[in-house]
A and B are shown apart, each in its own frame.
Chain A
Amino acid sequence: MTGAEYSALRESSPEKAYAALFGNYCDYVYAIVYNKLRSVAQREDIEECVSDIFADIFLTYSNSGEFAGDMKGFIGTVSKRRAINAYHRFASRSEHDSGESDDYLAGVASRTDIESEHELEERRCILLNKIDELGEPDSTIILQKYYYDRSSAEIAKMLSMKPSAVRMRASRALDKLRKTLAEVGITL
């Protein structure tokens, strides 16, 4: 959905425009927020953050025509910022006190840090490639079970399968994934 399409739809029916925008981008926004908050927040908190983001976007997206093109970049950025703020809130509640959080006397960022991040990103790409190679429904099962932490029952409902089938496929897919990753030097 482009900005122009959204604006045009909103002229005639705001609620349809909001629903359409949400439908187009909710998976994307959720993926961003979950990626940031999965280690510090519960699923309800993540959903709360996602709904905050969409409420924000619905309210502030301009009709001026600046974003006649793809809205994804704008939405992605709003999502990341909100997710980062939410991360700080949850992280400070669970772990840190203010004295510790002030102790940030790190040096100037070095090229080594950038290179480490680059290496990590390469590993992520490889992991995602190997997950893709599993094919469906195994790719979705693997991600839902081991990244999104869903139960086999939840995944089964999502994919119209039996929970036992999900468990079996998850186990086999994980074994296969470990083998293919080991071949390229990555241990899961």
Chain B
Amino acid sequence: MEHGFNMLENASDKSLERLSERRVLTAKEKERMLKMSMDKLNKMNNNSDDELQVSGVEQYKRPKWYGFATAAASLLLVGGIVGGGIYLSRNAHVPDEPMTEVTTTSETTVATEEYDFSAEVSQIEAGMEDMLRNEPHAVADSLMMKLNQFVNLTIGWNVGEDKQVKKKLETSSGTVEYYRCYDFDKPEDVKAKYREYFTESFLNRYEYLWNEHVVETPIFKVFDGKLYHRSENIDAVIYSYTQNDIKINSFDETSFNFTVACRTQDNNQHLLNIVCVKESDEWKIDSYSDRLISDDIPE
């Protein structure tokens, strides 16, 4: 192996794109991996009798919990927000009072509405838990994914939004449009879902998302018994980083603090400081701060 090429490891997105522009795989390798992917998909669908073949057609149903769990493990990239992230960062702050252990009971449940994946989930979660116990970086990385998801909630990520189905709300400052959300029934459901990854005190700072007693036009609102979402017309904020950018500042059995040097799509550099606590054996984000440290910022 030519060691000089090691500098290509952990490349940026731009470099990865360039690497992928050249021929990477043989036809045989592609065929083999496609078959492996299809076999895994069939196994996940738990549908061995009516397997998806290369030539067959099968209607599959996505279990809601799995969709959310894997969506939580991935970043959804749509457009680009700057205002939303800055807006959220203005409202997010490190708590003044010292961190205390939260004693509320965790409500983590896995809904298996359509398929019973409980055995597989337990196995996956046990494996993940084991890894997470030994790997602070992995915990930090996993929680960063959740944070990236959360900061883009205002533009309708992961809520099953359909912009074709609208409601209009007349307010003191004009007409506001809301779009139907199919993945949740009410604002409390959205909050409950994010309670799996964020503490109550964290989510309480974002009451404008789901509490119409706090703001005239919350992000989530119910019309005629159905949930709608006020999608902000701003770009997504996606904090991009590598493993080397995560610095663990402190880590013990009940609390965890790390810092991540990130870049956003507008090429600004941010320094995020994340404070986490353990609630019923689950790590959750309790607060975070976002400091813009780009060279573009004027003195």
Q: Which residues in A have their C-beta under 8 angstroms from that of B53?
A: 15
The answer to whether A60 touches B62, judged by C-beta atoms less than 8 angstroms apart, is yes
A120 contacts B19, C-beta separation under 8 Å: no
Q: Report B-chain residues with C-beta under 8 Å of the C-beta of A18.
A: 34, 37-38, 41, 52
CA distance A48 to B39 in the complex (A): 12
B223 adjacent to chain A (CB < 8 Å): no
Question: Among the listed stretches B3-11, B101-109, B209-217, B277-285, which one makes contact with chain A, having 4 or more residues with CB under 8 Å of it?
Answer: B3-11
A76 near B: Cβ within 8 Å?
yes
Contact with B along A21-62 (1 / 0, CB 8 A): 011001110111011101100000001101110111011101
Contact of A62 among B10, B12, B36, B160 (CB under 8 A): B160
CB-defined contacts of B84 to chain A, threshold 8 Å? none
Counting chain B residues whose Cβ lies within 8 A of the other chain, the interface size class is: 35 or more
Any B CB within 8 A of the CB of A179: no
Complexed CA–CA distance, A154 and B22 (Å): 16
Contacts of B244 in A (CB 8 A): 113, 117
In the bound complex, do residue B54 and residue A14 qualify as a contact, i.e. CB atoms below 8 Å apart?
A: no
CA–CA, A154 to B27, complex, Å? 12
Q: Give the shortest distance, in Å, between A33 (CB) and chain B (any CB).
A: 10
Q: Digit string of B1-36 for contact with A (CB within 8 Å is 1, else 0)?
A: 110111111111111111110111110011011101
A176 at the interface (CB under 8 A from B): no
Q: Which of B86-94, B132-140, B185-193, B194-202 participates in binding chain A? A: B132-140
* In the assembled complex, A187 has its CB within 8 A of some CB on chain B: yes
Measured CB to CB, the closest approach of chain B to A112, in angstroms, equals: 10
Chain A hits for B137, CB < 8 A? 88, 101, 104
Chain B residues with CB below 8 A from A162, complex form: none
Q: Which residues of B contact A (CB under 8 A)?
A: 1-2, 4-20, 22-26, 29-30, 32-34, 36-38, 40-41, 44-45, 52-60, 62, 66-67, 70-71, 73-78, 131, 133-138, 141, 145, 156-157, 160-163, 182, 238, 242-245, 247-251, 259-261, 269, 271, 273, 293
Which positions in A face B, CB cutoff 8 Å? Answer: 13-15, 18-19, 22-23, 26-28, 30-32, 34-36, 38-39, 47-48, 50-52, 54-56, 58-60, 62, 64-67, 69, 73-74, 76-78, 81-82, 84-85, 87-89, 92, 98, 101-102, 104-109, 111, 113-114, 117, 120-121, 123-125, 127-128, 139-140, 143-149, 154, 157-158, 174, 187-188
